[in-house]
Amino acid sequence: PHSPPDLDLGQCDREPIHLLGGIQPHGVLVAFHPETLRIEVVSGNAEPLLGQPPSALRGQSITAVLDEAALRRVRAQSLIGPVAVQAGGRACSALLHASDGLQVLELEPLTEAMAQADEAALSAIHALVSPLGQVRGASSLLQRAADGVRALIGFDRVMVYRFHADWHGEVVAESLAEGVESFMGLHYPASDIPVQARALYRRNPLRLIADVQARPVGMVPPTLPGTGQPLDLSGAALRSVSEIHLEYLRNMGVGASFSVSLLKDGELWGLMACHHHAPRLVSAARRQACEVLARMLALQLGAEERGADATAHARRATLLARLVSGLGEGTSLPAALKANGALLMELTGATGVALLLGESLELEQGEQPVLLGRTPSREEVLALASRLAEMPGASTTVHTERLETLHPPLAGRADVAAGLLSVRLDPQAPRFVFWFRPEVARTVAWAGNPNKPARPEPGHTRLHPRASFEAWREEVRGASVPWSSADVEAAESFQGALVGVVLRHAVELSRVSR
Ligand code: BLA
């Protein structure tokens, strides 16, 4: 209810960040025709480096910028990485890629000192990357990688930012310079890295924002005659980024930002996200070294995660076996369930369980339902059971991360029961096992306000990044962490086992009472 009236997060998703038509001023962009070599587009800042203004360069051959030998090398090696060339009489690193039917050449001047430092840094890359193959355990792997990237680029803060299933993210590892504030463990809303940015980061793994204060440089001409649009800069290293994001970084007190995509099985798993308090350049060679490191990390993480999945699977099987044997012991099933409550919750990652076992057990008054951990009240649980029993097709498993939509009376109980995973024990009677989870905002450390945003100023309707947080909080209020397919499977295995145990108890009870 408190989000500013002009806040529209859809606006973030719609900004065409590949068509903003500007580059950062620390390099020069020249786009030429692949066959005729005719220069078609030049960035507005060409003259200091290339000695001629864009209007004079347009129409000439690209060989006016790079001699033929250099051009050949750049064309041959552009897929491998940056190439050292002379342009305008200066040492530059050159990158080349194709876009809109043109070859896009990006030149970044390199000082002698930078070139020398690069050489030292790159000989160190081996020492940084090869140990990743030996490190065991995802968290030490991430730590090593964060330390490695920081050693390569010298930023103040290097984070590994991991996306969750709903695309919100969490800082899962961090390497910090002395005295820098930690963001470790904080969660950020999905809208901080909007959908088109994530799509772009899947295709282009690197971006450097060398100076968040720098004014972008436009293109000459600003739009292509063929498309009527600015040159597509999706693949450009110099691409100037969204003003909204720049404002976000300025609000955070960041002077330079660098991020590298972490892809697992072709999907965006996370980013290495790096901040520096002041503007800072990272040479093309070092950026590439970071990319190599990130690729290596992602591969290794994939292996770790497959291992962890197998371990979790085995863990659930053990839990289930212990539960079932635990329930077989003793005469009172409710007592046995209570004694095994912790296992029962761990089985699906719940914080509360309710069991409605039915009349056949001749339970004492007040023993039904059996409540373990943090759950709604007895009356609330019974009402939920009646509701589910009436639902068409509810004879099977039901799970939701937003119980209030299924059963509005529990809307106020997100503190214990925002999420429900339910299995039914008897299609004819209201006998269930309910697992509950609280709303997500209560279980994680949200980066509510690490860097208080500028609020929209009066009469100024542009979007301010941090305002998104409040809007997002409204959006996820009342929702739990989603149930995974492994959680659901575990619940169903337990259902199968419990039905057997309940039957056995019922038979024993009837024998005793006979
Ligand atoms: C891009 N947002 C990004 C990027 C990061 C973040 C890492 C990639 C660009 C970069 O490397 O700087 C977010 N950075 C974070 C987060 C942390 C961090 C979460 O360090 C946590 C520690 N951003 C908003 C809102 C909008 C928005 C509300 O918060 C939209 C209105 C937009 N973020 C936005 C856009 C981009 C972006 C458009 C793409 C920038 C680009 O590549 O052009």
Continuous H helices in 51-111 = 54-57, 68-77
Q: Can you tell me which atom of ligand 1 is nearest the CA of 257?
A: 12
pLDDT of residue 50: 97
pLDDT of residue 474: 60
How many Cα atoms sit within 13 Å of 259 on the Cβ side? 21
Q: Give the amino acid at 394.
A: A
Q: Can you tell me which atom of ligand 1 is nearest the CA of 208?
A: 11
Give the whole-angstrom CA distance, residue 289 versus residue 120: 12
Give the whole-angstrom CA distance, residue 426 versus residue 387: 15
Helix (H, G, I), strand (E, B) or coil at 255: coil
Q: Can you tell me which atom of ligand 1 is nearest the CA of 466?
A: 29
CA of residue 261 to ligand 1 center, whole Å: 13
Give the whole-angstrom CA distance, residue 93 versus residue 105: 10
| Ligand 1 pocket member 259 (CB < 6 A) | yes
For residue 187, the cross-strand partners are 170, 446
Looking at ligand 1, which residue's alpha carbon is closest to its atom 35?
245
Q: Kindly report the average pLDDT of the chain as a whole number.
A: 86
pTM, two decimals, is 0.79
CA of residue 267 to ligand 1 center, whole Å: 18
CA of 344: how far to CAs of 202, 320, 478, 486, in Å? 39, 8, 24, 14
| Ligand 1 pocket member 197 (CB < 6 A) | yes
Contact indicator for 93, 108 with CB cutoff of 8 Å: yes
| Ligand 1 pocket member 468 (CB < 6 A) | yes
pLDDT along the chain (514 residues), means of 10: 44 88 98 98 97 97 96 90 92 96 97 83 77 82 94 95 90 95 85 93 97 97 95 97 90 93 94 97 93 92 87 90 80 79 93 83 64 94 92 81 93 93 88 92 55 40 46 69 90 89 72 63
CA of residue 83 to ligand 1 center, whole Å: 29
pLDDT of residue 79: 80
Q: Can you tell me which atom of ligand 1 is nearest the CA of 9?
A: 31
| Ligand 1 pocket member 245 (CB < 6 A) | yes
Contact indicator for 360, 506 with CB cutoff of 8 Å: yes
pLDDT of residue 116: 83
Tell me the per-residue pLDDT of 457-474, one tens digit each, with 9 for 90 and over: 443 333 444 544 555 556
Q: Can you tell me which atom of ligand 1 is nearest the CA of 254?
A: 20
CA of 401: how far to CAs of 5, 262, 392, 395, 484, in Å? 28, 28, 20, 19, 11
Strands across the sheet containing 39-43: 22-23, 217-220, 39-43, 28-32, 102-109, 90-99, 83-87
Give the whole-angstrom CA distance, residue 484 versus residue 348: 9
Which residue from 70, 57, 262, 285 is spatially nearest to 163, judged by alpha carbons?
Answer: 262
pLDDT of residue 8: 58
Q: Where are the beta strands (DSSP E) in 115-265?
A: 157-163, 169-176, 187-188, 206-209, 217-220, 256-264
Helix (H, G, I), strand (E, B) or coil at 153: helix
| Ligand 1 pocket member 171 (CB < 6 A) | yes
| Ligand 1 pocket member 188 (CB < 6 A) | yes
CA of residue 298 to ligand 1 center, whole Å: 21
Q: Which of 248, 287, 461, 463 to mutate to test the pocket of ligand 1 (most atoms within 8 A of CB)?
A: 248
pLDDT of residue 306: 87
Give the whole-angstrom CA distance, residue 64 versus residue 484: 59
